Structure 1
Amino acid sequence: MSGMEIASYLMAVVYVISFLAMSAILAREAGRPVWLFGKGLEKQALPATLFRLAFAGAVIWPIVLTLVGNPIKADPLQRALDGPWVDVLGHLLVVVGACLAILSQRYMGASWRIGAAEGELGPIVDSGPFAISRNPVFVGQALVFVGLFLVLPSLIQGALTLVLLVAIILQVRIEERVLQRTLGQPYRDYQQRVRRWLGTRTTPESTTP
């Protein structure tokens, strides 16, 4: 791997470690578990599995790529996206995404959860990064994976990125249903003020599941 590729990979690894460490810190501060994938009425096994696959792949695949090379010969994505300017763009996305995700996670404080379950949610966080996105942690994670894909383009890295994006979409829809049932009108008002991914709105958004 080139210097830029190594730097981007290490940044992604640092983010994964920071995500786990921050989750442990917030759980200790709150005095309760934050892992909710196995709780509640909603089935979250599929997105939970996809998240694990994507994050494990993001850590392991670049090492495999370095040690044994790409098993897919003449990988079309590797040839099409390989270049210094693409690497620079990808590295910037990794850095920005990692910073956004970890800062947003820390900003949630006592409301931080991994997954969603009725009766296990904290108060709405609607300031800071959450004033311009209802899901800034997920937005940051998506930027990390898209950036890593641009720096290390391949069909496998592309598949890992797609897996993460599908996991995010599935989990966000689950969490929105849980939040609507648990927090009621205050959360619906928040949905009307702030967009799901990025930006604020002046016209109401439908809040039906």
Structure 2
Amino acid sequence: MSRTEIAAYLVTLGYVGAFLFLSLKQARASGQPVWIFTRGGRSQHLPALLFKLGFAGSVLWPPVRAWLGGEAPFGMLSGVPGLMLVIIGAVLALWAQLHMGRSWRIGAAEGEVGAIVDSGPFAFSRNPAFIGQALLFAGLFLVRPGLVELALALAVLVAIPLQVRIEEAVLRRDLGAPYLAYQRRVSRWIGRSC
């Protein structure tokens, strides 16, 4: 593995470890489970599976790939810009997770949503954690473009909009007018809606 690949892998390991640690910490602080994919109904099974595949693959595949050896089938696209995307994505996703505090959830289920968080990164995007994760996985593909890396990135990039639509429906039902006002103010992805 190149130095850029090793750095991207270490950032990814750090992100996944911090994501899990913060999720556990926030579950304890709120006194509620934060992993609620299984409580949200069958519609979340596909995005949950795709997220699991993407994240598990991002941790497990690089050492296996290094052990197997061989070149990336698409050649080296752009290692350093890819690494920058990995770092920016990890930082943005963790900042969003930290900023959500007790409202942090993984998945969505009626009656199990936290309060609206509309400050920090959530003043500019309703989904900054997902944007960060998308950047991270796009960066991983750029660092070492291969078929497995492409599949892992696509798994997460497909899961994100599926999950966002599910979460938005739950938030509209549970939080009503305040969430609708937030939706009108802040874009789903980046920027102000007004």
Matches of 1:98 and 1:18, distance apart in 2 = 10
Letter in 1 for 2:37: F
1:42, 1:174 within 8 Å by CA — same for their partners in 2?
no
Q: Does 1:199 align with 2:185?
A: no
Equivalent residue runs for 1:1-209 within 5 Å = 1-41=1-41, 43-70=43-70, 75=73, 77=74, 79=75, 82=76, 86-202=78-194
1:90, 1:150 within 8 Å by CA — same for their partners in 2?
yes
Letter in 1 for 2:190: L
Matches of 1:8 and 1:61, distance apart in 2 = 13
1:116, 1:178 within 8 Å by CA — same for their partners in 2?
yes
Per-residue CA deviation, residues 87-114 of structure 1 (Å, 9 max, x unaligned), is 1100111111101101110100110001
* Bigger Cα displacement from structure 2, 104-113 vs 36-45: 36-45
> Rg bigger for which structure?
1
Using structure 1 for the length normalisation, give the TM-score.
0.89
Residue 42 of structure 1: how far off its partner (Å): 5.9
Residue 40 of structure 1: how far off its partner (Å): 3.5
Matches of 2:172 and 2:35, distance apart in 1 = 20
Aligned-residue identity in percent: 57
Q: Which runs of 5+ in 1 are unaligned?
A: 203-209
Residue 41 of structure 1: how far off its partner (Å): 4.7
Letter in 2 for 1:87: G
Q: Which runs of 5+ in 2 are unaligned?
A: none
2:40, 2:107 within 8 Å by CA — same for their partners in 1?
no
Runs of 4+, deviation exceeding 2 Å: 40-43
Matches of 1:123 and 1:180, distance apart in 2 = 12
Matches of 2:126 and 2:9, distance apart in 1 = 27
2:72, 2:144 within 8 Å by CA — same for their partners in 1?
no
